[in-house]
């Protein structure tokens, strides 16, 4: 009798596991993930970077984001940064890399919605920003000027 109860529980466990594995594919939402794109795909010097699948931006002076300022993503949102080093991280449907932004003066960035759920981060100030772009490994890639006046 004891063996029969153990076999029934084993059968329930095996069948349940198979149902979870097979049924789990139905409920898994495969997202595109969060993406920072440099302005290489844009024929303009207006865009700092582009992202999609994001609902919140975290900005902090520490890479660990222990005291991060949180911004809900919306069209025309302005994020102003004083002189210093900042880390940006995106929260959304997937993994986000951390971007480092170093500024020698007070700057403002604005989010511009593109209509397809993605956004551009643009210079919201009137002054031109000089930007140095680095590869993820820290190697210098290029410099460009980011035009302003998009408020």
pLDDT of 29-88, one tens digit each?
Answer: 333 334 444 444 444 566 777 888 889 999 999 988 999 999 999 999 999 999 888 888
The answer to whether residue 136 is domain-embedded is yes
The total number of structural domains in the chain stands at 2
Query: Using an 8 Å Cβ cutoff, are 127 and 148 in contact?
Result: yes
The answer to whether residue 83 is domain-embedded is yes
Q: Quick one: 12 and 48 in the same domain?
A: no
The domain of 18 spans: 1-30
pTM summary value:
0.65
Q: Coil, strand, or helix at residue 64?
A: coil
Q: How many CB atoms lie within 10 A of CB 128?
A: 13
Q: Quick one: 64 and 15 in the same domain?
A: no
Secondary structure E strands in the chain:
35-37, 47-52, 54-60, 69-72, 78-81, 84-92, 99-103, 107-113, 118-123, 129-134, 140-146
Q: Quick one: 114 and 46 in the same domain?
A: yes
Q: Quick one: 24 and 42 in the same domain?
A: no
Q: Quick one: 74 and 112 in the same domain?
A: yes
The answer to whether residue 151 is domain-embedded is no
Q: Quick one: 40 and 104 in the same domain?
A: yes
Query: Using an 8 Å Cβ cutoff, are 123 and 147 in contact?
Result: yes
Could you give phi then psi for residue 135, rounded to 5 degrees?
Answer: -75, 160
Q: Please compute the mean of the pLDDT values over residues 14-25 and round it to a whole number.
A: 48
Q: Quick one: 129 and 57 in the same domain?
A: yes
Q: Quick one: 1 and 47 in the same domain?
A: no
Q: pLDDT-based confidence at 99, cuts 50/70/90?
A: confident
Quick check: 112 pLDDT over 80? yes
Q: Quick one: 63 and 18 in the same domain?
A: no
Q: Quick one: 81 and 107 in the same domain?
A: yes
**Average pLDDT of the chain to the nearest whole number:** 74
Q: Quick one: 50 and 89 in the same domain?
A: yes
The answer to whether residue 121 is domain-embedded is yes
Q: Quick one: 83 and 131 in the same domain?
A: yes
């Amino acid at each position: 009798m004891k063996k029969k109860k153990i076999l029934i529980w084993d059968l329930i466990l095996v069948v349940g596991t198979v149902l979870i594995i097979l049924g789990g594919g139905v409920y898994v939402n495969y997202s595109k993930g969060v993406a920072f794109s440099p302005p290489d795909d844009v024929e303009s010097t207006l865009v700092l970077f582009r992202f999609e699948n994001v609902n919140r931006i975290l900005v902090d002076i520490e890479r660990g984001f222990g005291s991060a300022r949180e911004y809900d993503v919306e069209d025309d949102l302005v994020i102003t940064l004083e002189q210093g080093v900042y880390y940006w991280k995106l929260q959304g449907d997937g993994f986000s890399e951390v971007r480092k932004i170093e500024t020698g003066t007070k700057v403002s960035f604005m989010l511009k919605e593109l209509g397809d759920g993605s956004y551009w981060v643009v210079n919201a100030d009137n002054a031109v920003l000089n930007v140095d772009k680095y590869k993820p490994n820290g190697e210098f890639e290029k410099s460009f000027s980011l035009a302003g006046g998009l408020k």
